[in-house]
A and B are shown apart, each in its own frame.
Chain A
Amino acid sequence: MILNYITSVILIVLGLYTVCTKRNLIKIVLGLGITDYGINLLIVSIGYNNGGTAPIYSSDLFNLNASAAAFVDPVPQALTLTSIVIGACVDAMALALVIMLNRRYKTTDANEIRRLKG
């Protein structure tokens, strides 16, 4: 369980590190994606109960000796789904912008793309 948290923190930090240091726009977008995955992993992990089951109220149908307290919390999973969708949208949008930027500036180097400054 603790491994999940450590991994998610590593992923988030790795993603932010990529965003802050890599000069290639594609890599920056990938960094954003990695951050998102880290956060998603974190969200899913907080809902997990060791030995928990799916949160279905039908204990007499499939009696698996599971009490209600051992359910896996369903809310974080819903949150994760939403978050994944949003992350995918953002990545798609960012990549679309990178394509158009590459067309206008003929480069994907963040150091070259700085007409707006000061």
Chain B
Amino acid sequence: MNYSHFPAIAVMGLFLGAFLVEIFGSKSKIVRNIIVFVFTTCAAALMLYLVKPVMLDGEIISYWMGNWEPVDGYAIGIGYEIDQLSMFFAILVVLTIWLSAVYSFRYMERDRHLGHYYTLFLMLSGAVLGLVCTGDVFNLFVMVEIMTFAAVALTAFRNKKGSNLEAAFKYLIVGSVGSGFTLTGITLLYMQCHTLNMAQLSSMLSGNLTPVTVLALALMFTGFGVKSFIVPFHAPAADAYMSAPTSVSMVFSGMVNKAGVYGMIRLVYIIFRAMDIEAIQILLVLLGVITMFIGVTMALAQHDLKRLLAFHSISQIGYVITAIGLCTALGVTGGLFHALNHTLFKGLLFLCAGAVLYAAGTTDLDRLGGLSKKMPKTCICFLIGAFSISGLPPFNGFASKWMIYQATYEKAVTTGNFFYAFATVTAVVVSVMTLASFIKVTQAVFFGQCPAQLQQTREVPFSMRLPMWIMALLCVASGVLYGDLYRFILAPASNAALNVTGYIDAMLGSGTAASAGIADIEVAKVSFSYWNPTAWLILFAIILIAVCWVVVFGEKTRGAVLQSESAQDVDGKYATFFSGEKSMHSHVGGSDLFWGFKKNFSGYFRVMQGIHSGNVNDYALMAVAAAAIFIVFMFVVLL
């Protein structure tokens, strides 16, 4: 079967679905849901079909729109090119959109104008899928713009609340400033190379940087930085993730900011091949470290569950950028693995937050509590997500964080640069703070005392739990079977990022890369040795035996486990101890935790509150100032 059409069909299918939903789906719920389900499933099936040829057989698919193939080595037409790196991100995208679509069917049922919602949703999906598939920088820009446009509209979808509109406006302004930088960079590139094809740009730009291309690099770097929400550009992201419907927040953190990361990798690794330069590595690692630290500390100060998760998304992107910036096989693998894991566990956490919002009507941490007895399944899913993001073994966050620590410290030792050791330390501390902030959430939302107004809360319906279970299962599976994951998916993807010859040759005919003087680099095989399946299997066995022991033998009279079923039981021994003060303030809420930490960091938090002022001018200024700094930096170090 000729599968080179599949990516184009998948992207076009999603856009077609967007129009069909608008035309036929605005009245009937069933028609609408069927259209959305069919088109997202088709896109997922088409892209997953390509996993075997691309990932396992190492083929790179190239496809020229309208058959405008290159003439005399000059590419004018729009080309789609699926190498292993694109495929990796495409897997993330189709997984996220499918699960989010299934979740939306029930989650969004109380909203009106759902036809528009699904139109925008499918446009967003198509744009991100197109973005990772395309091999043309201008097409990339167009997809970025459609993505931003749809994302902004979805942020403002629940426009009853003024704050949602506000978030959308900030996102639009900062996003457009970023897009403007990207477009200017692309223009400058075209000016120099007279081509828009990434493969051709890569073969032309390798090793000869002029002031114009350096400016283009700095501008596009800023543009993709805005799209991936690394630190100076992160403020609108927190607002947008918080305000969007949760099924969309999951899409944002699962693939919209990954699209920025993808663009960043394409830009520095493939198009400019600038990662051999140490200053660029340090810049990326520094940005990553700052991003992860500011993200997590801001998360610790939040009172709203979704806003907290948004800041964690920013923080986890910091890990990815740090690892990507190392430019070693282990680093890139770890970064991509963490990107995958972040999609899984943050998607799961957002879905759980959505379930809480659906069931309890609020995500304010100070008004929730004791939901674990009302929503036990959501609670288990949330705990799995929380342990994954905190990196507790054997969940997936641990595996990728292990790689990132190892990679940063390996880099520190091999280069003798103390800065990378600092990155390792920060990464570990940030990981502990992540754990702390999820402890805060579990305490504030699921455990503790249940407020009176939440007594009627009930578990969410099955079609919302199904995506949660799938995500939770994937979290555990990718943590346990990461060896296979590495062999089949991560290794090809990181190879594709580090080696550009295959990408160029597939697009422009074999031998092009060699004639441009680009050779393959031998990528070291990453070795893992912290994993002993037998030890862990026995660990699980012991857990199982011990739990069985507690459950089975605990029922005897001696050593019995007693819990009264009725909450109205008058027997005082089942009551919680309040030291005589049975008061309404008996639940320890999220804001009451971590006093010792907040006290010592109070000055820092005051500064941070000042920076996140909520003023759109400030955010735009931060973006423009960062662009200026990047431009100056790149001019200083690259010329």
Residue numbers of A with Cβ under 8 A of B are 12, 15-16, 19-23, 25, 28, 32, 35-36, 39, 42-43, 46, 73, 75-76, 79, 82-83, 86, 89-90, 93-94, 97-98, 100-101, 104-105, 110-111, 113-118
A110 close to B184 (CB less than 8 A):
no
A94 close to B612 (CB less than 8 A):
no
A116 close to B242 (CB less than 8 A):
yes
4 further A-B pairs in the complex, CB-CB below 8 A; given A73-B194, A115-B614? A20-B621, A104-B165, A113-B169, A115-B166
* A-contacting residues, B179-197, CB 8 Å: 180, 183-184, 187, 190-191, 194, 196
Kindly state whether residue B156 has any CB partner on chain A within 8 Å: yes
Closest-CB distance, B304 to chain A (whole angstroms)? 10
Q: Which of B149, B152, B614 contacts A116 (CB 8 A)?
A: B614
Tell me the bound Cα distance from A35 to B387 in angstroms.
45
Please encode chain B, from 299 to 315, with 1 for each CB lying within 8 Å of some chain A CB and 0 for all others.
Answer: 00110000000000000
A28 close to B173 (CB less than 8 A):
yes
Query: What residue of chain B has the Cβ atom nearest to residue A19's Cβ?
Result: B620
Closest-CB distance, A76 to chain B (whole angstroms)? 7
Interface centre among A16, A75, A98 (most CB of B within 10 A): A16
Closest-CB distance, A62 to chain B (whole angstroms)? 24
Tell me the bound Cα distance from A43 to B194 in angstroms.
12
Tell me the bound Cα distance from A81 to B380 in angstroms.
52
Please encode chain B, from 212 to 244, with 1 for each CB lying within 8 Å of some chain A CB and 0 for all others.
Answer: 000000000000000000000000001100110
Closest-CB distance, A68 to chain B (whole angstroms)? 13
What's the A-B contact tally at a CB cutoff of 8 Å? 126
Kindly state whether residue B339 has any CB partner on chain A within 8 Å: no
Interfacial chain B residues near A76, Cβ < 8 Å: 187, 190
Q: Which of A86, A93, A113, A116 contacts B172 (CB 8 A)?
A: A93
Provided the pairs A39-B187, A43-B187 are in contact, do residues A113 and B166 lie with their beta carbons within 8 angstroms? yes
* A-contacting residues, B282-310, CB 8 Å: 301-302
* A-contacting residues, B531-554, CB 8 Å: none
Interfacial chain A residues near B149, Cβ < 8 Å: 86, 89-90, 93
Interfacial chain B residues near A36, Cβ < 8 Å: 180
B162 close to A101 (CB less than 8 A):
yes
The 8 closest A-B pairs by CB, nearest first: A117-B614, A114-B614, A104-B162, A20-B621, A116-B239, A46-B191, A115-B163, A19-B620
Q: Is the interface of A mostly helix, strand, loop or mixed?
A: helix
B166 close to A101 (CB less than 8 A):
yes
Tell me the bound Cα distance from A28 to B191 in angstroms.
29
Interfacial chain B residues near A32, Cβ < 8 Å: 173, 176-177, 180
Kindly state whether residue B206 has any CB partner on chain A within 8 Å: no
Kindly state whether residue B417 has any CB partner on chain A within 8 Å: no
Closest-CB distance, A1 to chain B (whole angstroms)? 12
Provided the pairs A42-B184, A116-B163, A116-B239 are in contact, do residues A90 and B614 lie with their beta carbons within 8 angstroms? no
Number of interface residues, chain B, beta carbon within 8 A: 47
Kindly state whether residue B624 has any CB partner on chain A within 8 Å: yes
Interfacial chain A residues near B156, Cβ < 8 Å: 97, 100
Closest-CB distance, B590 to chain A (whole angstroms)? 14
Please encode chain B, from 339 to 355, with 1 for each CB lying within 8 Å of some chain A CB and 0 for all others.
Answer: 00000000000000000
Tell me the bound Cα distance from A118 to B162 in angstroms.
17
A110 close to B617 (CB less than 8 A):
yes
Q: Which of A20, A28, A114 contacts B624 (CB 8 A)?
A: A20
A46 close to B615 (CB less than 8 A):
no
Tell me the bound Cα distance from A90 to B169 in angstroms.
11
A90 close to B165 (CB less than 8 A):
no
Query: What residue of chain A has the Cβ atom nearest to residue B175's Cβ?
Result: A90
Interfacial chain B residues near A105, Cβ < 8 Å: 162, 166
A116 close to B615 (CB less than 8 A):
no
Q: Which of A28, A86, A100 contacts B165 (CB 8 A)?
A: A100
25 examples of A-B residue contacts, CB within 8 angstroms: A16-B177, A20-B620, A20-B624, A25-B616, A28-B173, A32-B173, A35-B176, A39-B180, A39-B187, A46-B191, A73-B194, A75-B190, A82-B138, A83-B183, A100-B165, A101-B162, A101-B166, A101-B169, A110-B617, A111-B615, A114-B615, A115-B614, A116-B166, A117-B614, A118-B302
A19 close to B162 (CB less than 8 A):
no
Interfacial chain A residues near B159, Cβ < 8 Å: 100
Interfacial chain A residues near B621, Cβ < 8 Å: 20-21
Interfacial chain B residues near A86, Cβ < 8 Å: 142, 145, 149
B166 close to A82 (CB less than 8 A):
no
Closest-CB distance, A58 to chain B (whole angstroms)? 19
Tell me the bound Cα distance from A93 to B156 in angstroms.
11
Tell me the bound Cα distance from A111 to B172 in angstroms.
17
A117 close to B612 (CB less than 8 A):
yes
Provided the pairs A19-B173, A101-B165 are in contact, do residues A46 and B145 lie with their beta carbons within 8 angstroms? no
Provided the pairs A35-B177, A118-B301, A118-B612 are in contact, do residues A20 and B169 lie with their beta carbons within 8 angstroms? no
Closest-CB distance, B158 to chain A (whole angstroms)? 12
Tell me the bound Cα distance from A107 to B609 in angstroms.
24
Tell me the bound Cα distance from A97 to B164 in angstroms.
10
